[in-house]
Amino acid sequence: MSTMTAFDDITVQAEERVALIRLNDPKTLNAISPRMMGGLSQALSHIEKAEQGFRCAILTGEGRAFCSGANLTTTGPDDILRQGDLGRVLRASYYPVLRQMRGFKMPLLIAINGPALGFGLCLALMGDVILAARSAFFQLTFSRIGLVPDGGAPWLLPRIIGMARTKELVILAERLGAEKALDWGLINQVHDDEKLLEAAKALATELTQRPTATLSLIRRAYWDSLDNSYEEQLELEAELQSLAGRTQDFAEGVMAFREKRLPVFKGA
């Protein structure tokens, strides 16, 4: 049985120990706004609460798009041309959520169910495993409206796909199809459209049976490695191993190995 919790332009569907997060503004193809980012922040905090019992999360989009990037059509108070200093908006409403996703305490899967444009692609890059529908495509459209790429894309992309492909993606601002994105190493899996969510849920369910606390430490190990020197990384690994070695799941893993059985991890 699943239950639904709603936040601003975000829903969270609980399916046992998996939290299915949806960007939920389909009339704009899930365009990003400060309101949606606030809702996403609230959703992530809700999912991380121990009493919720979640051990893996999936982020996808409602309707036929994952995310169409910044909302360029809205007028009135939310008009992008009336928001003033866009750098201030990023610092206040957008970047805190990216940092929250980076420090998320469980595996985060991304299911790209349609176009992932602009900041939508940046959101996708925060996931541990990115699955895409065969019809999905990616596009960094910033230069087409006179803006520079943001959302950490100019920092992350060269580290994921290399500088040459990054420059192609951000300067030409052309569409990148799912199959080519897989070939480039930008994403991890491609599925037929109607099977995408099924595949994401199956993988998430498998991950709920893994040692969640340790997976959180693993996420920190590879995220922090991007900033660390070799010596700093060795020290971080020793620190994290000290923490992992004190978990109940480590003891269970060793005992299961000795007893020649499958481990039953509790996530702690």
Q: Calculate mean pLDDT across residues 86-100.
A: 93
Residue 126 has pLDDT above 60, yes or no: yes
Q: CA nearest 201: which of 43, 16, 30, 53? A: 16
pLDDT of residue 84: 75
pLDDT of residue 123: 96
Query: Picking from 1-10, 17-26, 92-101, 237-246, which range would have the lowest pLDDT averaged per residue?
Result: 1-10
Residue 32 has pLDDT above 60, yes or no: yes
Q: What is the pLDDT of residues 135-188, one digit of tens each?
A: 999 999 999 989 999 999 999 999 999 999 999 999 999 999 999 999 999 999
3-class secondary structure, 28: helix
Mean pLDDT, the chain, rounded, equals 94
Q: Return the number of other C-beta atoms located less than 10 Å from residue 40's C-beta.
A: 24
Cα angle: 88, vertex 112, 91; to 5 degrees: 10
Q: Specify the amino acid at residue 210.
A: R
Task: Considering only CA atoms, give the Rg of the chain.
Answer: 19
Q: CA nearest 41: which of 86, 82, 122, 102? A: 102
